[in-house]
Amino acid sequence: MADVSRSAVDAGRAPSSGRDPRTDRGQIFLVAALVLAVLFVGLALLLNTAIYTENLATRNTDPGTDPSISYRHVAEEAAVGVMVRENANHTDLPYADVEDRYVRGVDEWSNAAGLHAARYARSANVTVDSAVHGTRFEQTDLNRNFTNESGTVTDWQVEDGVDVRDVQFTVERGSLEELSDDPFELSLESSSDPTTSWSVVVYSPSASEVGVAVSNDSATATCVATVGSHAVVDVSTGHINDTACPAIGETLDLDGEDVDVRFRNGDEAVGTYHLVVDSGVSLGADEDHVDNEVDGSPFVTAVVYEADVTITYESTDVAYRTTVRIAPEEIR
């Protein structure tokens, strides 16, 4: 076997050429180091280029598309605004009339915006494709508790098998119970799975505070705010007056479930409320509500729960068309 430690020539004398082989090895190491350095620089440049390209890909770099995206956002906000306005202004109309007013309101806005776009040689349009019959359950008597129409039933079902949005209570702080007692509760139970439920409890932890405790099958979140004589508890947006409670929305995540809506301990809260569901209830046909608000009892109103609208925008550079779902302040 050959000796690999040193050659006979190295052991005895230097090569006849006069060159030291250690110098050759040093040059090889230097060249290898330079090659590795170039490779690392190349890899760094390649990585930076990939990141830069990805950033560019996620941006809207074509100025010709900006007006179409802006118009889509403005049109969507307008469709929501018209829905909120028409639902609030016509509490005594049947649903067909409310829907008709909503469609005409969107058309009027679309026509006005279209005229503005036409001045710049562009075409813009919004049309209502379909709408869903909804019902708003509400009470406007600030001095009444949250019992049913007769005032005798404290635990009662508002509606079953529905989607819910725009849930808000205005409560008198002094009428609320402590959390350890039997405070007022909004119960939401899954229509498909009775073991799945959500709970919204409104209570008073002290003489100057109102609290909300939201529970699902695995977690509970609470929010407390210092208030005056009354507090506005906006369940849909997660607020007590001006105090934001993001944990409410995170815990009250229905994940698109249809739910049965029930009031519990309705005699332990005094004030007003409203909530909207995607179910059409004939005025006067509900046993726990009346069809008007004359006597201060809880009542029902026909509303547009949601709508699909198509937004179109065209110019010499862009042809944009999309359909969006309009359902403000929905608990999903």
Average pLDDT over residues 175-197: 93
pTM: 0.73
Quick one: DSSP state of residue 141? -
The pLDDT of residue 257 is: 85
Cβ burial, residue 296 (10 Å; 0-12/13-18/19+)? middle
The pLDDT of residue 8 is: 46
Close Cβ partners of 121 (under 8 Å, ≥ 6 residues apart): 315, 316
Count of domains forming the chain = 2
Q: Is 200 part of a structural domain of the chain?
A: yes
Q: Is 242 part of a structural domain of the chain?
A: yes
* Whether residue 220 sits in one domain with residue 150: yes
Q: Is 149 part of a structural domain of the chain?
A: yes
Q: Is 21 part of a structural domain of the chain?
A: no
The pLDDT of residue 7 is: 47
The pLDDT of residue 77 is: 94
Higher pLDDT, 33 or 210: 210
Residue 110 has pLDDT above 60, yes or no: yes
Higher pLDDT, 272 or 66: 272
Q: Is 29 part of a structural domain of the chain?
A: no
Domain boundary among 269, 294, 317: 269
* Whether residue 124 sits in one domain with residue 151: no
Q: How far apart are CA 177 and CA 234, in angstroms?
A: 19
Average pLDDT over residues 177-187: 95
Q: How far apart are CA 130 and CA 175, in angstroms?
A: 42
* Whether residue 325 sits in one domain with residue 224: no
Residue 120 has pLDDT above 90, yes or no: no
| Closest C-alpha to 136, from 321, 24, 261, 36 | 261
| Closest C-alpha to 111, from 101, 126, 122 | 126
| pLDDT above 90 as % of the chain | 54
Place of tokens 């529905």: 162
* Whether residue 197 sits in one domain with residue 97: no
Check: CB of residue 174 under 8 Å from CB of residue 200: no
The pLDDT of residue 57 is: 45
pLDDT tens, position by position, 279-294: 887 655 556 776 666 6
Q: Is 290 part of a structural domain of the chain?
A: no
Quick one: DSSP state of residue 288? S
* Whether residue 117 sits in one domain with residue 95: yes
Lowest mean pLDDT among 115-119, 161-165, 319-323: 115-119
Average pLDDT over residues 261-286: 86
* Whether residue 180 sits in one domain with residue 105: no
Copy the structure tokens of residue 49.
């280029």
Which residues of the chain form beta strands (DSSP E)?
123-139, 156-162, 164-172, 184-190, 197-206, 209-215, 220-226, 230-234, 239-240, 243-244, 259-264, 271-277, 299-314, 319-326, 330-331
pLDDT-derived band of residue 143, with 50, 70 and 90 as boundaries? very high
Close Cβ partners of 222 (under 8 Å, ≥ 6 residues apart): 211, 212, 213, 214, 247
Q: Is 69 part of a structural domain of the chain?
A: yes
Residue 101 has pLDDT above 50, yes or no: yes
* Whether residue 87 sits in one domain with residue 167: no
* Whether residue 118 sits in one domain with residue 155: no
Check: CB of residue 232 under 8 Å from CB of residue 239: yes
Residue 55 has pLDDT above 70, yes or no: no
Q: How far apart are CA 163 and CA 165, in angstroms?
A: 7
pLDDT-derived band of residue 17, with 50, 70 and 90 as boundaries? low
Q: What is the CA radius of gyration of the chain?
A: 34
Q: Which domain holds residue 237?
A: 145-269
Average pLDDT, the chain: 84
Domain boundary among 250, 269, 288: 269
* Whether residue 157 sits in one domain with residue 194: yes
Average pLDDT over residues 153-171: 93
Domain boundary among 269, 291, 318: 269
* Whether residue 161 sits in one domain with residue 251: yes
Residue 64 has pLDDT above 60, yes or no: no
Q: How far apart are CA 167 and CA 234, in angstroms?
A: 6
Q: Is 51 part of a structural domain of the chain?
A: no
SS3 232: strand
The pLDDT of residue 65 is: 57
* Whether residue 245 sits in one domain with residue 162: yes
* Whether residue 119 sits in one domain with residue 191: no
pLDDT tens, position by position, 209-265: 999 999 998 899 999 999 999 999 999 889 999 999 998 888 888 878 899 999 999
Max mean pLDDT among 34-43, 51-60, 133-142 falls in 133-142
